[in-house]
């Protein structure tokens, strides 16, 4: 069967259909694994609700929680199960108070046949296109041995498929009760993983189709499950124009031999308070003035602080924001995983487009990583933006105000096409600033350093500091009286 002939069943979960390249394949059976409370049942509810919305007959075979409990849980997640048929095989409350002992036959021999009959009768009556079984683990106890269980489940899945159903079934595999047998007989596996305060989803098997591999962040909110597919750079790189993005500061543009090339990645590096964000705002302002859309993601400062900073520099940030050419977005990194933030950026870019994106800063962004590899996540995000033709500026803070020169302390300089650095200098007992360009892949650049000033009239870049020596060694020295600094 060709790929075009494979009908897909959407899952009803934002992001999961993207991971599955469109959804589950119709007529197949899929295992949903994970510990208690990881979201297995919620996924099944989404799957059935989506089917009901599309006008399909759907069937929920519940062996654990009662139908009443499930409907309450669904309502709390704003999932409407009104169009879903139920076959409630959960234990009846009377079971506890009524003697259910069997003198000759085992409970499995007595109870298996009635359950099988109820399933076949219900399927024949409802004719479901989607079936969710929660949880198959309970059926294991109705089999006399593992071989009998495998035959029973395999037969059940084939029966449902032959009657036109796409099936999801859950398992709570553990060391005591492994579910390797279920994994082998399923057409696909979705694993739910929860550790610390993170929820992760991974597809580990998906017959007859490609899928997005790897660990994908997810959340469960009042609207149910949302999956944030891991962002991967697009295969096709956007065509980049030959024009440059200028800063509006003639001396800085001169250092860059005209400005920043479009679709490139720039790191502005320096210690705290040296003026990194202020410098980046110059490029954002110029892009917005040209009518190009720009986005600022601030992990460390509020929108109000950035607006106040712009006003102090006589940059019309507030007016540009009102005009819609510049968008300021304050991001609380502890509320986002790296995949969630990447998903947000992707939605913004695809919905609004952008010529320039500023991430302020790498250290703030790193808080959303929560123990994962910073370089991998940041690489994926900035390369995705670059491949869409977006120019990216990263603000990188180094810890030491003075001392040995460093571009970054986290090993991301290889990402950058251009590196601009800012440093503090001491001159005649006064703290001053210097700016330089360390790297520029696509053109030459000025090799000298210049004084960098933040004044009430805006940013100023001075003449080359011809007499300055040793800044890259962390011990600046003045070679002659005329160092190029203004008194």
- Mean pLDDT score, 88-97: 68
Cα–Cα distance between 254 and 266 in angstroms, integer? 16
pLDDT bracket for residue 264 (50, 70, 90): very high
Residue 218 near residue 190 (C-beta atoms within 8 A)? no
> Residues 272-330: pLDDT tens digits?
889 999 999 999 999 988 889 999 999 988 999 989 888 888 888 889 888 889 999 99
Model pTM? 0.83
66 pLDDT above the threshold of 90: yes
Instruction: Look at strands 166-171 and 29-33 and give their pairing.
Output: parallel
Residue 192 near residue 198 (C-beta atoms within 8 A)? no
Residue 286 near residue 246 (C-beta atoms within 8 A)? yes
Place of tokens 């939605």: 347
Residue 392 near residue 357 (C-beta atoms within 8 A)? yes
425-437 burial: b if 16+ Cβ within 10 Å, else e: bebeeeebbbbbb
> Residues 428-487: pLDDT tens digits?
777 889 999 999 999 999 998 899 999 888 899 998 887 777 666 655 666 655 556 665
Q: Let me know if domain 244-478 sits in CATH 3.40.50.970.
A: no
Cα–Cα distance between 76 and 53 in angstroms, integer? 19
Question: Which pLDDT belongs to residue 102?
Answer: 43
- Which ranges in the chain are annotated with CATH 3.40.50.300? 3-228, 244-478
Q: What fold does the segment set 3-228 form as a domain? A: Rossmann fold (3.40.50)
Cis peptide before 277 (omega within 30 of 0): no
Cα–Cα distance between 401 and 354 in angstroms, integer? 34
First to last CA, the chain: 79
């Amino acid at each position: 069967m060709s790929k075009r002939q494979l009908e897909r069943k959407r899952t009803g979960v934002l992001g999961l259909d993207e991971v599955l390249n469109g959804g589950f394949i119709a007529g197949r059976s899929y295992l949903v694994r994970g510990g208690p409370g990881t979201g297995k049942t919620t996924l099944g509810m989404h799957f059935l609700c989506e089917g009901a919305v599309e006008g399909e007959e759907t069937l929920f075979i519940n062996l654990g929680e009662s139908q009443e409990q499930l409907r309450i849980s669904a309502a709390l997640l704003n999932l409407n199960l009104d169009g879903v048929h139920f076959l409630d095989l959960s234990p009846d409350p009377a079971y506890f108070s009524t003697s259910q002992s069997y003198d000759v036959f085992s409970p499995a021999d007595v109870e298996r046949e009635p359950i099988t009959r109820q399933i076949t009768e219900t399927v024949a009556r409802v004719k479901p296109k989607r079936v969710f079984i929660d949880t198959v683990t309970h059926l294991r106890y109705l089999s006399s041995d593992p071989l009998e269980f495998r035959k029973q489940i395999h037969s059940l899945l084939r029966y449902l498929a032959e009657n036109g159903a796409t099936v999801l079934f859950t398992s709570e595999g553990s060391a005591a009760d492994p579910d390797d047998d279920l994994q082998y007989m399923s057409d696909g596996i979705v694993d739910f993983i929860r550790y610390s305060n993170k929820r992760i989803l991974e597809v580990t098997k998906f017959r007859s189709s490609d899928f997005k591999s790897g660990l994908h962040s997810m959340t469960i909110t009042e609207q149910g499950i949302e999956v944030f597919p891991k962002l991967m750079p697009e295969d096709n790189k956007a065509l980049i124009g030959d024009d440059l993005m200028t800063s509006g500061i003639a001396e800085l543009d001169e250092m860059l031999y005209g400005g920043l090339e479009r679709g490139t990645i720039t790191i502005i590096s320096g210690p705290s308070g040296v003026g990194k964000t202020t410098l980046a705002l110059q490029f954002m302002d110029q892009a917005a003035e040209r009518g190009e859309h720009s986005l600022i993601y601030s992990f460390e400062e509020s929108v109000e602080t950035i607006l106040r900073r712009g006003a102090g520099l006589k940059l019309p940030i507030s007016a540009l924001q009102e005009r819609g050419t510049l968008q300021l977005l304050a991001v609380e990194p502890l509320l986002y995983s790296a995949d969630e933030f990447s998903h947000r950026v992707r939605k913004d870019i695809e919905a609004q487009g952008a010529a320039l994106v500023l991430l302020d800063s790498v250290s703030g962004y790193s808080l959303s990583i929560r123990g994962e590899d910073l370089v991998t996540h940041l690489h994926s995000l900035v390369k995705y933006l670059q491949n869409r033709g977006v120019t990216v500026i990263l603000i990188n803070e180094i810890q030491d105000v003075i001392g040995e020169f460093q571009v970054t302390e986290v090993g991301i300089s290889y990402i950058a096409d251009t590196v601009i650095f800012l440093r503090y200098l001491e001159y005649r007992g006064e703290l001053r600033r210097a700016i330089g360009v360390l790297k520029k892949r696509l053109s030459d650049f000025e090799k000298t350093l210049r004084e960098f000033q933040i004044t009430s009239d805006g940013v100023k870049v001075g003449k080359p500091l011809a007499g300055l020596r040793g800044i890259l060694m962390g011990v600046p020295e003045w070679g002659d009286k005329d160092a190029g600094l203004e008194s």
